[in-house]
Structure 1
Amino acid sequence: MDDETAEIELLEQNLNKTRQISQRMTSILTSFDGRLVKLEKSILPLYTSTQILTKRGNNIEAALQKIDEVASNQEGIAAEEALILRGPQPEQLAAYTDVLERLNAGIAFNTLERDSRDTARLVETGAKKLAQLFTKLVAGGSSGTPLAGTEFELSPFPQDFLITLQPLVTFLRTLPLPATHPSHPAANAILSTLKDAQRGYADMRGNWGRKCLEVYARRVVERAETIDGVVAGRELGNWVNNLLDVVEEEYGLLTQVGPLSGQAAISATYISLLTPLISLFNSTLTSLLTLIKRSLHKFTFHALSAYSALAAAQTRWDDLITRRAERKENELKENLTTLRGVCLRSFPEFLADIKLAALGKGGEVGTGLADFSISSVRYLEQLIEVRDAVEPALVALGDGNWKMGDGVRVANQPKLGPGSEHILLEHYIYDVVSTVITSLTTLSRMQKRPAFGSVFLLNNIAYLRTNLLKPRAPLMEVLSRPTQDTLNSSFRTAKAGYFDSNFSPLIQALSDEKDKSSGGKAAAKEKFTRFFDLLEETKERHKLARVLEDDEDNQDMLADEVVRLVVPSLQRFVQKQKEKEFSKNPSKYIKLTPEEVEAQIRTFF
């Protein structure tokens, strides 16, 4: 118990100490609280003032930040405006288009702090600057000196310009237009700008294409008077195909780099681009048609060859120019119609020229080849070269109408039309050959000395026959049997006339007559004298009038026939008179032996 009592007393003592300590702490805290109350009362006005100042400081700081932000925005706007007003640089095109894209996006979503009308004006200015760069690049690729070799070559758009142009055009095609952005304030102005740029493009590229083709157009016109007509017509056809190559190339480039890529815009631009090229085509064809019409007989094959070449280009023209450009006009077709009329005129006029040649100029016509014989052979040979133009023209003209009334068709004869081209060509060639032979015959009869006329006719008929009846020649395909028979028959007739006027007198000089016995020897002497006098005349005549010159085969054939005609008669007459001993000195009258006469005759050819 004592221990427990002792512990209790100890606890009471500790409790009293704790109570005393608590009282002292309470007294201290009470005193401290009082002091805090006093301190709060003294600090409260300062705290209130500090809060006001802090709030004002925050407000000032926020205002300063806003001012900095506005100033920064204004600096950005000013920089953008400066960039746009300065215009795009080819090497910095992406930066320029990025600014315009942001401005357009801001207008579309109304996220810009500036006035939308000012922004729209800025976008419009940027579009104009880009259009100016587009025009500058196109002008650079459409200037200078085009290729000008003897053969035409396309002058492609320079690759370095095209590399810059392609991304520019790609962006221009994204600019807002009324069709795609009806509410954009600058859409109408941008559309007007792009239309102007596209019109400028058409003008520059069209005139560049004309410039590339002009030198070759002049060459075609200038050479038309100096080269073969068939070749000249083909040169025109090649030039037209070159023009169509340019047109095709330009259409592809237009679809690639035209700022306005809609079909309507492309068609309108394409039509404008074609204008200078079609103008050049029309002026070139007009010059050639004027030349041909002025002297159709000289330029007949130019007309036919040109018609053939242009007709071959008609399908391509229709595709590239008429249908693709959606045009009603067809200049090639119109010029072909005019050219076709000229070609139809050429057939009767050629026959009329041959007939006119038969009138001659009065006086002697010589014994050589007539100009129209040579030109007729060349004419018929060239017909085959342009057969694809000749046959349809003859169908359009009608069988026999090339005679201008001379050839009346039999009523029951079937009318020849499409499908009968070959027959009509045969008929026309027959009429040409017949007309030439008739004119030659008429001219030969105008000779004052029939012997020279016969040489003239033989030379010309032989020339026709030799040149037209060449084996395996293209012309043989269209020489009908009547035509060949006419040539062969005329040659035989001309040869007979030549024999009759030149060698029949020799035969007649030796012909037998019923002489009286008292006059037989004298008559023989006279006949020998007459024969050798005529032979000398014939010899001198053949020195002046060469027979079948440059035709050795026919010359040899003709010499053989003359020898067979004259020499046997002379041999028989000489033999007969020697047997009768017509003279004591036969060599006085028989100046040449039959063998020597034969040798002399062969020198005539």
Structure 2
Amino acid sequence: MDDETAEIELLEQNLNKTRQISQRMTCTTFDTRLAKLEKSIYPLYTSTQVLNRRAFNIEQALVKIDQLASDQEGVAAEEALILRGPQTGQLGLYKDALERLNASIAFKSSDADSLETARLIETGAKKLTVLYTKLVAECSSGSTPGPTAALEPPPIPDDVLATLTPLVAFLRTLPQPSTHPSHPASASILSTLKEAQKGYADMRGNWVKRCLEGAGKRVMDRMDTVDVLVSGREFGAWVEALLDFAEEEYASLTALAPLSSSSLLSSTYHTLLTPLLSLFGTTLSTLITLIKRSLAKYTFLALSTYDALASLQPRFESRVLSRRTLPSSSRAGGNELREGLTSLRAICLRSFPETLADIKLASLSSPSSAAADGPGGEASTAVSDVTVQTVKYLERLPDVSGAVGTALIALGDGNWKMGEGVMAGMKGGAAGQQTKLGEGDEGVVIEHYTYDIIITLVTTLTTLSKSNTRRPSMGSVFLLNNITYIYTRVLSPSSALPSLLSTPTKDSLKSAFRTAKAGYFDANYSPLMAALSDSPSSDFGSDKKAGKERTKDKMTKFFDLLEEVVERHRLGARVLEEDEEERRVVGEEVVKLVVTSMRGFVGKYRDKELGKNPQKYIKMTPEAVEAQLRSIYR
């Protein structure tokens, strides 16, 4: 039993050793073989990787070659399209080609390729601006509107706009330094667009100028054929049309300018406005020269034009000046309308003292120099030219009161009298405490000016009426005719002039009218009334015969004087020929004065002192005298 156990243990030990040897022999061989295998395969693996990489590179190179060949064919096709320029109906294709070229700039691996593409893009941009300029030229040429045509801004035709609008929209997307700083053609494209925009301004500005020239020339040609107030308003309407054109062109410029930045728009608008403002300046200079040639004739042309242009000044500054930028090299003041208004105002200021001086100067002449001579070389009793012209001057003032008030304020209250005497009135306050007039006091200063005009005219007429010292009765008729002419027209309820007159002016004119009428009665009918005074028989005491003779002489003298008065009025002393109503009133007053006195005289002395044959002395009945007197005033 022990021997078997011992053999078993020995057998187990041998078995373990065999297992260990066997295990050790198997692992070592596998590892060794595996290492040997790896060592033999590794070079092959490395060679295979190199071959694979080379194969991949070759494949990529072939793909790139194919792509470049394809690109060259596309560039060649697009180059031909670009060089040919945009064709009718193919603007979209042209734009697409340029957009593809612009996109390819970012993916070019070669600078030479990018520069070549950039030059092609630059050429395309120039071709597009040529089309743009051509379209603008088409709508900025042709026959201009006639002189009598309505002054309406020349529109850009719809068919041209249909092409221009998308074209401008694309031009604004082209590369520029501000948006594509690294693009090789951006600077050149910007320069091209600037030239195109300047061309737009030149063409549109000169076209609008041509459209306005005919109407402006017509306004100037009509200056001597229509009323000066109408001429001034027509000139103002022409300038207003010029502003309408300028505003319409600004709207078109903002929509059709290739470069839409505010600074470039302002400078371009200045270029566009230059021909228009040059036309305005030339036309206004011609007008001012015409006015200066005869200020007395064209005073209201100056005032009317000044009034019209002054109303346009705010619009000119807010809608024209504010939208343009003057170049730094420009020496112009930049406000052409204000400069024109300054020149016109200087003329208006000069007209006020000259008008007053002309009225005063008329007093140095004679009534016959201002109107036709009467029979036998007698001084005329008609309304004188100085009266007619001055009244016309006053009647026109309400139509240009705004310009007159502004100019008089600038001249200074009372300065139209050129230092003579005191000013016409004060703006409140006691004497010696006159308040200086300024803006807002235009109505007051006009009242002062019209006062001086009317008082100076009345003084001149009074002087003229006294120039014929040999026939005071004729002078009285002259003064009555002229003062009545002023009175009835200046204070007419249907006129706007009374609203410009102060109460002292109206009172002075009414007083002058009453004085002139009284002077007429005194010079022409006082001798008659003296002849019809009470019989002087009582002055001779008991000598009744001498008293009767005196009464008879007075009656005879009355009829002699009556005949002289009637003859004077029939031949030369025409009373109020142009004013039937006032002439009738004067006739009624004369009849009432003379015939009433005659009736009283004849009724008192007919039977007592005119003897048995009173008809010998009473040559006409009171009724006949009345009829004869009324005939004077028919």
| Shared fold, TM over 0.5 | yes
Is residue 2:99 matched to residue 1:104? no
Partner Cα separation in structure 2 for residue 299 and residue 150 of structure 1: 27
Contact 1:401/1:407, CA 8 A, preserved across alignment? no
The change in CA–CA distance for 1:69 and 1:110 in structure 2 (over 3 A counts) is: closer
Contact 1:202/1:270, CA 8 A, preserved across alignment? yes
| Offset of residue 242 of structure 1 | 1.0
Partner Cα separation in structure 2 for residue 151 and residue 466 of structure 1: 41
Deviations, residues 411-457 of structure 1 (Å, cap 9, x unaligned):
44332333332222211111111011111111111124222111111
Is residue 2:552 matched to residue 1:528? no
Deviations, residues 4-53 of structure 1 (Å, cap 9, x unaligned):
xxxxxxxxxxxxxxxxxxxxxxxxxxxxxxxxxxxxxxxxxxxxxxxxxx
Partner Cα separation in structure 1 for residue 126 and residue 448 of structure 2: 70
Instruction: Indicate the residue corresponding to 2:32 in structure 1.
Output: none
> SS of the counterpart of 1:345?
helix
Partner Cα separation in structure 2 for residue 423 and residue 472 of structure 1: 22
Instruction: Indicate the residue corresponding to 2:365 in structure 1.
Output: 360
Instruction: Indicate the residue corresponding to 1:540 in structure 2.
Output: 567
Instruction: Indicate the residue corresponding to 1:487 in structure 2.
Output: 509
Contact 1:233/1:309, CA 8 A, preserved across alignment? yes
Instruction: Indicate the residue corresponding to 2:119 in structure 1.
Output: 121
Partner Cα separation in structure 2 for residue 182 and residue 458 of structure 1: 89
Instruction: Indicate the residue corresponding to 1:301 in structure 2.
Output: 300
Is residue 2:426 matched to residue 1:421? no
Partner Cα separation in structure 2 for residue 234 and residue 602 of structure 1: 47
Greater mean alpha carbon deviation, residues 472-481 or residues 297-306:
472-481
Is residue 2:604 matched to residue 1:590? no
Instruction: Indicate the residue corresponding to 2:86 in structure 1.
Output: 88
> SS of the counterpart of 1:437?
helix
The change in CA–CA distance for 1:334 and 1:529 in structure 2 (over 3 A counts) is: same
Instruction: Indicate the residue corresponding to 1:187 in structure 2.
Output: 186
Contact 2:367/2:464, CA 8 A, preserved across alignment? no
The one-letter amino acid paired with 1:142 is: S
Partner Cα separation in structure 2 for residue 417 and residue 197 of structure 1: 51
Consecutive unaligned residues in structure 2, runs of 5 or more: 1-57, 327-332, 369-377, 424-430
Contact 2:197/2:268, CA 8 A, preserved across alignment? yes
| Offset of residue 350 of structure 1 | 1.0
Contact 2:122/2:188, CA 8 A, preserved across alignment? yes
> SS of the counterpart of 1:120?
helix
| Offset of residue 280 of structure 1 | 0.7
| Offset of residue 283 of structure 1 | 0.8
| Offset of residue 506 of structure 1 | 1.7
Instruction: Indicate the residue corresponding to 2:137 in structure 1.
Output: 139
The change in CA–CA distance for 1:113 and 1:396 in structure 2 (over 3 A counts) is: closer
The change in CA–CA distance for 1:545 and 1:349 in structure 2 (over 3 A counts) is: same
Q: State how 1:424-435 maps to structure 2 within 5 Å.
A: 424-435=445-456
Partner Cα separation in structure 2 for residue 223 and residue 407 of structure 1: 41
Contact 2:82/2:124, CA 8 A, preserved across alignment? yes
| Offset of residue 156 of structure 1 | 1.0
The change in CA–CA distance for 1:329 and 1:534 in structure 2 (over 3 A counts) is: same
TM-score norm. by structure 2 comes to 0.81
Instruction: Indicate the residue corresponding to 1:217 in structure 2.
Output: 216
Partner Cα separation in structure 1 for residue 366 and residue 554 of structure 2: 40
Identity among equivalent positions (%) equals 58
Instruction: Indicate the residue corresponding to 2:532 in structure 1.
Output: 510
Partner Cα separation in structure 2 for residue 288 and residue 158 of structure 1: 35
> SS of the counterpart of 2:324?
coil
Alignment match of 2:390 (pick from 376, 380, 385): 376
RMSD across aligned positions (CA) = 2.4
Partner Cα separation in structure 2 for residue 585 and residue 263 of structure 1: 109
Contact 1:365/1:443, CA 8 A, preserved across alignment? no
TM-score norm. by structure 1 comes to 0.85
Partner Cα separation in structure 1 for residue 379 and residue 266 of structure 2: 65
The one-letter amino acid paired with 2:403 is: A
Partner Cα separation in structure 1 for residue 379 and residue 463 of structure 2: 11
Greater mean alpha carbon deviation, residues 580-589 or residues 290-299:
580-589
| Offset of residue 538 of structure 1 | 1.5
Contact 1:90/1:164, CA 8 A, preserved across alignment? no
Partner Cα separation in structure 2 for residue 153 and residue 600 of structure 1: 66
Aligned residues, how many?
544
Contact 1:206/1:276, CA 8 A, preserved across alignment? yes
Contact 1:106/1:112, CA 8 A, preserved across alignment? no
> SS of the counterpart of 1:603?
helix
> SS of the counterpart of 2:212?
helix
Is residue 2:561 matched to residue 1:561? no
Partner Cα separation in structure 2 for residue 95 and residue 174 of structure 1: 16
The one-letter amino acid paired with 2:440 is: G
| Offset of residue 583 of structure 1 | 4.2
Instruction: Indicate the residue corresponding to 2:631 in structure 1.
Output: 603
> SS of the counterpart of 1:489?
helix
Partner Cα separation in structure 2 for residue 505 and residue 281 of structure 1: 67
Is residue 2:514 matched to residue 1:466? no
> SS of the counterpart of 1:90?
coil
Is residue 2:457 matched to residue 1:449? no
Partner Cα separation in structure 2 for residue 234 and residue 111 of structure 1: 70
Contact 1:146/1:155, CA 8 A, preserved across alignment? no
Deviations, residues 330-373 of structure 1 (Å, cap 9, x unaligned):
11111112212211222111111111111115865411111221
Alignment match of 2:419 (pick from 405, 420, 441): 405
The change in CA–CA distance for 1:417 and 1:66 in structure 2 (over 3 A counts) is: closer
Deviations, residues 203-238 of structure 1 (Å, cap 9, x unaligned):
001011111111121122222233223222222222
Greater mean alpha carbon deviation, residues 227-236 or residues 135-144:
227-236
Instruction: Indicate the residue corresponding to 2:461 in structure 1.
Output: 440
Contact 1:234/1:305, CA 8 A, preserved across alignment? yes
Partner Cα separation in structure 2 for residue 526 and residue 408 of structure 1: 54
Partner Cα separation in structure 2 for residue 264 and residue 412 of structure 1: 55
Contact 2:555/2:617, CA 8 A, preserved across alignment? yes
Instruction: Indicate the residue corresponding to 2:281 in structure 1.
Output: 282
Partner Cα separation in structure 1 for residue 309 and residue 580 of structure 2: 43
Contact 2:205/2:272, CA 8 A, preserved across alignment? yes
Contact 2:366/2:467, CA 8 A, preserved across alignment? no
Partner Cα separation in structure 1 for residue 110 and residue 471 of structure 2: 111
Greater mean alpha carbon deviation, residues 550-559 or residues 524-533:
524-533
> SS of the counterpart of 1:416?
coil
Is residue 2:349 matched to residue 1:344? yes
Contact 2:531/2:557, CA 8 A, preserved across alignment? yes
> SS of the counterpart of 1:298?
helix
Partner Cα separation in structure 2 for residue 334 and residue 441 of structure 1: 43
| Offset of residue 522 of structure 1 | 4.0
Greater mean alpha carbon deviation, residues 470-479 or residues 371-380:
470-479
Contact 1:241/1:313, CA 8 A, preserved across alignment? yes
Contact 2:367/2:380, CA 8 A, preserved across alignment? no
| Offset of residue 564 of structure 1 | 2.0
Instruction: Indicate the residue corresponding to 1:4 in structure 2.
Output: none
